[in-house]
């Protein structure tokens, strides 16, 4: 099995679930956004595109990722009520 991405790890996505499963689909989309934010954080840490504002970008990405994890929890709950 391939190593999980940061988003897949944080949202505990299992590859055993079929793709037509609504929870799996929602978590996969959310994991993609978390992975995109990881790339932005990486660039910010290198100060490639963000200059002196790099650490603020990292902080904002961390907040966004935490909120996405919370949203994923409530999406899962909404699908299983």
Phi, psi of 19, deg, nearest 5: -65, -20
Q: Over the stretch 41-79, which tens digit does the pLDDT of each residue have?
A: 998 888 755 667 888 899 999 999 999 999 999 999 999
Rounded CA-CA distance 1/15 in Å is 9
Rounded CA-CA distance 11/16 in Å is 14
Rounded CA-CA distance 6/36 in Å is 10
Q: Over the stretch 4-14, which tens digit does the pLDDT of each residue have?
A: 899 999 998 87
| Alpha-carbon dihedral sign for residues 62, 74, 16, 20 | negative
């Amino acid at each position: 099995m391939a190593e999980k991405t940061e988003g897949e790890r944080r949202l505990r996505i299992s590859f055993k679930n079929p793709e037509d499963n609504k929870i799996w689909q929602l978590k996969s989309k959310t994991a993609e956004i978390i992975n995109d934010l990881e790339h932005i954080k990486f660039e910010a840490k290198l100060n490639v595109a963000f200059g002196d504002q790099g650490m603020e970008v990292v902080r904002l990405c961390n907040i966004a990722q935490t909120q996405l994890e919370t949203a994923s929890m409530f999406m899962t709950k909404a699908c299983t009520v």
